[in-house]
Structure formats: structure tokens, C-alpha cells
Amino acid sequence: MIPLTTISKVKLMPHQNDFYDIIPNEMIIDNLDDKQRFNVEIKFKINLLPLSTKIKYAIIYSIDNVSRIITKNLHIPFDCLVKLIPSSSTSASNGRQKYSIKLTISKQSLDIKSSQLLANLFDDLFENQTNYFNSNSFSFCFHNYEQIQSTIKLQSMENILFIVESNDLSGLYVSFQQLLRRITNKWTQNKSTTIKIESIQLNFNLIDHLRMAIRNRMERKIQLKKFKDEVAKFSQHHRVLQKRILVKSKDKTPASLNNLSKLLTLIQKRITKNIDKIMHFEKLMNICNYHVWTILNIWRLILEKSKKSHSSDMCEKFMKLITIHQLSNFNIDWEELFLTSIHEIFQMNKDLANMVNIIDPTQQQQQQRNNEHFLRIFNQIQDKLSNDLIPIEF
């Protein structure tokens, strides 16, 4: 006889991240059964399109009075994130720059009619909404971010050519990620089916965008440090002046405190003004982090999907640059990890070994020098590495 295991004190706790607030932040289960259902509310934290459709949550429970914890992932359905719009009402640019990625896949071993490719891939989006879809394209915007619009097109030739367009890089990333995910999940269910990517082409220079995003972030960080240093300096003046006023006020024949009081008020206003600037630049830093991470994730998607078709040592090395640390929390100072990953790439590349000394992340260097070194590194990447990675047309 084996005694029944008793599971009790079950608690579900969603992990908070930079994109979502999840309400409630914990759920307690008194009686566990196989049909347990929960209602959760997912709110966007900041006015930036979430780059992840995955939410982590922890399950804490007790078995025979022993507490345990496991973590799981909750995937937000794509149809809950987007809203279909008539293709005729948008050009996926809406007056803004249009970004596009062309994905060419070999048609060999794919036993699917060309006219049914998009319908099969996105069938859940088109239930009772056929007026938003034709055989070769559809358009959508994102809930709460209607200004971001994307279009996915299919051009059937000798090979299968998908075109993903968006008026925003984050929209391009999320749309391209979803297309790749559905291709992988739906077309490879049959083990005999293999997906071979022939080429990935972009209508913009991804490395230039990355360099610009990094430069903007570092400039914001320098400005943020300047305001924080000013707050620290004036806070010290404020404390010293308060002590002087306190001493003067205890004198038997106190001198006029008007001038000191006025100076104290001016310092307080200066501190308040700089604190407001700090709060503003911290928001700008979040936006800069977001832009950098969006571009890095586009790189990651391209490299992950291309390395099987175009495997090379250079591709594997560059992959480490992006996958070394998944930036789920923008508050983490990730630059050291980022530089470390570049450091590792150059250590493995004898042709660029002389670069190691100037990118050592353990050395404390001035922000301006860091900026110059960073741009020089990416110029080297563009000149030495990018052409060997995958067939991207800039």
C-alpha cells in the first residue's frame, strides 16, 4: 500500500517584468483539481510595445509538509495582442519610415498549396474575419498601440517569399518573431518536413541602427550622471547651510538669517529641478534601453533561424554577443555583460586579438572614451564580421 500524496498550500505568483503588470500578483488555491481556472489582468507598464509574449510564473506548494517551487511560462495568445485592420487602409508606414524583412524559404519538402500558406499559418486570426484577409497579405495593429501597424505578405515564386513590414522596429520584431514561430511550430509537425531558409534581407542597416541606439543611450547616461552629481553636490551644500542656520539661530544676538534662508530656498529649488530632470532622463534611458534591446532581438532572431542553413563559426561567435544575457529587467547594468561578450568574440578571433585591451570591461574608463571605443568596436564588427554571418542585404 502506497499512501496518497497530499498537495496543499498551493500559490501561483506571476513574475513582474518591465512590460507587464499582472493583477493579482498572487493566487492561492485551497482545493486543487484538474479543472482549475484563473482570471488574470495584464496591464502594460509603459508606453512601449511589449517585446515578449511570455510571462513567467512560479508555483509554490507543499507535499507532505515539504515546501517546493517550480516555474512555468505563460504565453499570451497573439490574437489577444493584435487587431486586424483592412489592408487597404494602411501601407504599414502611416507617414513614418517603413521597415521590412524579406524571408525566403525553400519550397522543397513543403507539401502545402501556396494559396493556403498564410491562411494555415494564421488561421486563429481569421475566424469570422475573412474581410481582413486575402490570399497573399493581411495587416494589423497592436492593442493599446494602434499607431504601430504591420503587414505580412506572401509572394509565391520558385521559393516561398514572405515580406514583413512595419512602421516601427518593435512592431517589425514582434511580427517577424510570430511568423517564424508559426512556421517552425506548424510546418515542422511532420518530422519529414525540414525548413531551409534561403535568405533574409532587410531594407535598412541594422548595425547602423544599433550604433545609433547605443550612442543615444550612452549620451543619456552621461547626462543622467551629471544631474545626479549636481543633486549630490547641492544636497551637501544644503546640509552644511542648515547647520549654519541652526547655529546662528542659537546665538544670543543672532545675525540676520534672511540671506541664509534665501540661499537655502534657492538650493532646495535647484535640487528639486535636478530631481525632475533625473526622473525625465530615467524615462529616456528606459526608451533607449528598449530601442537597443529591440535591435539586438532582431539580430538574435535572424541568427538563430539562419545558423542551421548557414552554419559558421563566425555566426556562433556573434550569437554569444546577443544571447549572453536576456535583458528582462532594464534596471540591470547590462553594459558590462555586453562588453564581456564582445571581449569573448574577439578573444576567439585571432585577427582581432589586438582589440582586447581597449574593451576590457573590468577597467573603469571615462564615459566618453567608452563611447568612442564602443563605436570603434561596431565599426570593426561591420567590416570584419557581418559579411560572414548570413546573406543579409543592407
pLDDT band for 183, please (50, 70, 90 cuts).
confident
Look at residue 358 in the predicted model and tell me its pLDDT: 40
The secondary structure element, H or E, covering residue 43 is strand 41-44
Residue 149 sits at φ, ψ, to 5 deg, of: -125, 145
Chain centroid to CA 362: 26
pLDDT band for 329, please (50, 70, 90 cuts).
very low
Buried b (16+ CB within 10 A) or exposed e, 121-157: bbeebbeeeeeebeebbbbbbbeebeebbbbbbbeee
pLDDT band for 310, please (50, 70, 90 cuts).
very low
Bridge partners for 155 per DSSP: 161
CA 90 – CA 330 distance, rounded (Å)? 33
Domain 80-204 has CATH 3.40.710.10: no
pLDDT greater than 70 at residue 228: yes
Buried b (16+ CB within 10 A) or exposed e, 236-263: eebeebeeebeeeeeeeeeeeeeebeee
Residue 101 sits at φ, ψ, to 5 deg, of: -125, 130
pLDDT greater than 70 at residue 226: yes
pLDDT band for 25, please (50, 70, 90 cuts).
confident
- The per-residue pLDDT for range 236-248, each reduced to its tens digit, is 888 888 888 887 7
The secondary structure element, H or E, covering residue 197 is strand 197-202
Domain boundaries, the chain: 7-76, 80-204, 207-389
CA 380 – CA 314 distance, rounded (Å)? 14
Considering only CA atoms, which of 289, 287, 294 is closest in space to residue 335? 289
Look at residue 334 in the predicted model and tell me its pLDDT: 47
Look at residue 169 in the predicted model and tell me its pLDDT: 92
pLDDT band for 176, please (50, 70, 90 cuts).
very high
Look at residue 301 in the predicted model and tell me its pLDDT: 77
Helix (H, G, I), strand (E, B) or coil at 181: helix
- Mean pLDDT of the chain, nearest integer: 70
**What secondary structure letter does DSSP report for 384?**
I
Bridge partners for 350 per DSSP: none
Look at residue 36 in the predicted model and tell me its pLDDT: 67
| Residues 6+ positions from 368 with CB-CB distance below 8 Å | 222
